[in-house]
Every structure is written in C-alpha cells, then in structure tokens.
A and B are shown apart, each in its own frame.
Chain A
Amino acid sequence: MIWQLDLSILTLIVICAFATIMVKDLLSAAIIFGAYSFLMCLLWTEMGAVDVAFTEASVGAGVSTVLFFAAVYQTSRRVGARKSGRLLSKAFALTAALLTGLVLLIAEADFPGFANPFTPASLHLSPYYITQTLHDTNVPNMVTSVLADYRGFDTMFETAVIFTAGLAVIAILRRFKKEARYDLPEPYVISEGYPDTIIRFVARQLVPFIQLFALYVVAHGHHSPGGGFQGGVILGASFILLAISFDFKIVLGIMSERWNVLLGNIGVLIYAGIGFLCLLLGANFLDYSMLSKVLPATDKIMARSHGMLGIEIGVAIAVMAIVVSIYLNIVSHGKYDKGL
C-alpha cells in the first residue's frame, strides 16, 4: 500500500472512464476501456488482491475487449447522433446518476474504514481463514480455498451465471435459417485481409504454450494466484487468437457448436456432480472431505484439496466453452458462416 501510487492509478482510471464515455469512435472507446481494465488490475495488484487482479487482466482487459471489437465489427464504428428528446433524456440520466451517487455516498458513511482491524469480519471471520486454511484443507492459497470450498455454493452459481450468459447470447444471436429476417448493415471492413505469414506463424507457435499456461493456472490455483475462471478464460482466448489470426472456420473445426454447448453443460455438471457425490456419500452438499471414501490414498484433508481441483476443472471447461461460443456468435452475427 503506497498511497501515492494508488492515487495516481486512481486518477488515471477516472481519466480513462471519462475518455471511454466522451470518445465518439467506438473502437477507440473499446481500447480505452481495455486500458481502464488494466489499470484496475494494477490497482488490485497494488492492494494485494492478486487473484482478482488476474481475473481482471484476463477477462476485463483481454477477452471483453476482443468481444467489444467483435461487436463493433458487426455493427458500426460511429456513435449515432440522436436528435429527438435529447435534452430531456440527458437531464433524466444526469439526475438518476446523481441520485444514485448520493445514495451510495450516504451508504458509504456507514462502512468501516479501509483495512480497519476492528470490524466484525476482521475480528472473527478473516483470522479463521488465515490461520486454519492450511490445516483444514492443505491449500496454501487461501483465496482458492475460500472461493472453492468454504463458499463453494457461491462459486457454483457464479459458474451457472456465466453459463446462463452464454445461453442468452446463443438464444438472442444464433440464427439457423439461411435467409436474413431483417436487413443488417455490412460489417465495417478495413481491408479484405490476406494470409499474413508472420502473424500466422507466431500465433501457431504461441497457441500451445498459451494453452499449457492455462492448464498450469487451473491446476496450480491452489498454490499461486489463478484458478478455474482465469484458466478457462485464457484457454478460450487461445481459440480466439486462432480465429483472428487464421480463420473463423478453423476454430469451428476444432470446437464445433455442438461441442461448445456440450462442454459448457459438462463443466457446470462436473461442479454440481461433485456436490451431489458428496451428498451421496453422506456429507453436506459440496463438503469434499467425504470424497476420501472414493478417492484412493487420501485422507479427509487432502480430499478437500482434490475436490477443489475437480470443481476448478469444471469451471475452466464451462468458462472456456462459453467464451468461445459468445465470440463465435457475436463475430458471425449468429450465422456461423463467416467472421472476423
């Protein structure tokens, strides 16, 4: 915690936020939004929340920027100027924003100070996790153990939320009929594009290592920052890199739509299935210590560690499939015929 560094990063974040709103070019806005996410990631690293920073770097600065690009590619690059009712709607939006800010400020006064050691959470809850995690679960990274074990139920529904987001994108965008129901603007094309040898070669060399790193992040989440969400997003990003540098069709060849949806289901099912397995073995839902009955050569403590690894793998599979399927749907306008 160096408050000068915090303050300068926070200033840059506010500048980026304003620039994102003010810039008329949507592509520039997407890039500035990526910079905003990356600054948030720096701020979180600086405050010691490395896992959250990792998520922000992979999801916020990485994949969501690419998804914005895909959306801009399929719609239009310029902000349309609306004429009618402009002043009234602006005044309404300003009032709503100011009121929300006021309410948040009032609520903020009731919060304890940042890192105040005498709040109830810091007095009773956090010390338990900090001192007992290694003893309870044999997992050095307490963020992973809190996320996947102590609050496994939360994380299961987070995975379900991501799965639902993927389903919603498919339900809204996917079009099975060949003919268009309505006229769409042609994608904004800078150039026709040609096979660039340098980019293709480097992408081909990098993709296996990116995927290996993603698997490392998933499997090593117990000992270092990372876990299912980050690893899954990196895995998905490697497919997106292939789609951008080579062709849309290659990714479809590796992961067809059928496999995509199936893998998303399988990931969530692995998570819930491990929970139900615990139920069947006579423990509470997602109480991994009972898994020692089925896993060979593990005691109850190691079983919790292995249970966490299992659900992290489920999360990674679900997140990877959903990221790839959202990208494919947005970039091909739901037709899966051609894309970025």
Chain B
Amino acid sequence: MTLVVILLTLTGIVFFFATTVGILRFPDFYSRMHAAGKGDTLSSLLILLALVLYNFHEVNLANLLVAIKILLIVVFIFMASPTATHAIIDAGYESDIKPWTKNPEEES
C-alpha cells in the first residue's frame, strides 16, 4: 500500500515538474497553456489519489467519508481546470495572439 502511495505521489510530482518546464520553455501562449492545463489536472488527480490511499491505513466509515470528499475534489478539478484553461485560451484567441510557427515567413 505504502509503495503504491509513494509511486502515485512521485508520478504526480514528475507531471507537475513537466508542467513547470512546459510553462517556462514552450514558445508561445497556447502551448504554455496546453502544458499548464493538461499537466496540472493529471498530477492533481495522481497526488489526490495517493492521499485517498494513504488515508486507508485503517478502513472505517470516517476514513471512507474523507476519501469520498477527496474524490469530490478530483471531480471538481476535472471539471473546473480544463474549463478555466479553455476560457483563458479563448480570451487569448479573441485578443489576436498569433500562434507560434516554426517558420514565421511561411505563414504570412
């Protein structure tokens, strides 16, 4: 059990790290938001699942309730985070931010 918890947390941290690298290194607004939206959601899921499992060192009703609450947080993040990313990208598209291309001359 503890091994699974450690594994999930580590995977979550790896994805968080990838998110951070993506935000810092990607060339333009859209790809950065892509990294932020995708990575954040998945790594939150992994780490919260790890918390749920860690909570079950002793199975009883109170722990079950806490686990359900944490899972509800996961559901909320899965609905809210991609929508927020969509809203931000939409606002960027509306204010005419040009997407990055490898050769700017080819496009225009």
Binding site for B on A (CB under 8 A): 190-191, 193, 196, 198-199, 202-203, 205-206, 209
Contacts and interface: CB of A to CB of B under 8 A. Distances in A.
Interface string B79-108: 110010011001100110000000000000
A190 B87 contact: no
Contacts of B94: 190-191, 193
B86 A198 contact: yes
A191 B95 contact: yes
Given A199-B87, A202-B83, A205-B79, 6 more contacts: A191-B91, A191-B95, A193-B94, A199-B90, A202-B79, A203-B83
A193 B95 CA distance: 11
The list of the 9 closest CB pairs from A to B, nearest first, reads A191-B94, A202-B83, A190-B95, A199-B87, A198-B86, A202-B79, A199-B83, A190-B91, A191-B95
Contact of B87 (A196, A205, A206, A209): A196
B95 A198 contact: no
A206 B78 CA distance: 12
A15 to B, nearest CB: 17
Interface string B38-78: 00000000000000000000000000000000000000100
B87 to A, nearest CB: 5
Nearest to A201: B83
Contacts of A196: 87, 90
Contacts of A209: 76
A202 B80 contact: yes
Contacts, number: 24
Nearest to A210: B76
Chain B, interface residues (CB within 8 Å), range: 10 to 19
Give the secondary structure class of B's interface: helix
Most chain A CB within 10 A, of B80, B83, B87, B90, is at B83
Contact of B83 (A190, A191, A193, A198): A198
Nearest to A193: B94
B88 to A, nearest CB: 11
A198 B87 CA distance: 9
B80 A206 contact: yes
A203 B84 CA distance: 10
B86 A199 contact: yes
A12 to B, nearest CB: 15
Nearest to B75: A209
Contacts of A203: 83
B95 A206 contact: no
A190 B88 CA distance: 12
Contacts of B91: 190-191
A206 B81 CA distance: 12
Interface string B1-45: 000000000000000000000000000000000000000000000
Contacts of A199: 83, 86-87, 90
A205 B91 CA distance: 22
Given A190-B95, A191-B95, A206 B90 contact: no
A209 B69 CA distance: 13
A203 B83 CA distance: 9
A53 to B, nearest CB: 16
Contacts of A190: 91, 94-95
Nearest to B90: A196
24 contacts: A190-B91, A190-B94, A190-B95, A191-B91, A191-B94, A191-B95, A193-B94, A196-B87, A196-B90, A198-B83, A198-B86, A199-B83, A199-B86, A199-B87, A199-B90, A202-B79, A202-B80, A202-B83, A203-B83, A205-B79, A206-B76, A206-B79, A206-B80, A209-B76
Nearest to B80: A206
A314 B19 CA distance: 43
A192 B91 CA distance: 10
A196 B90 CA distance: 9
A25 to B, nearest CB: 14
A203 B90 CA distance: 16
Nearest to A191: B94
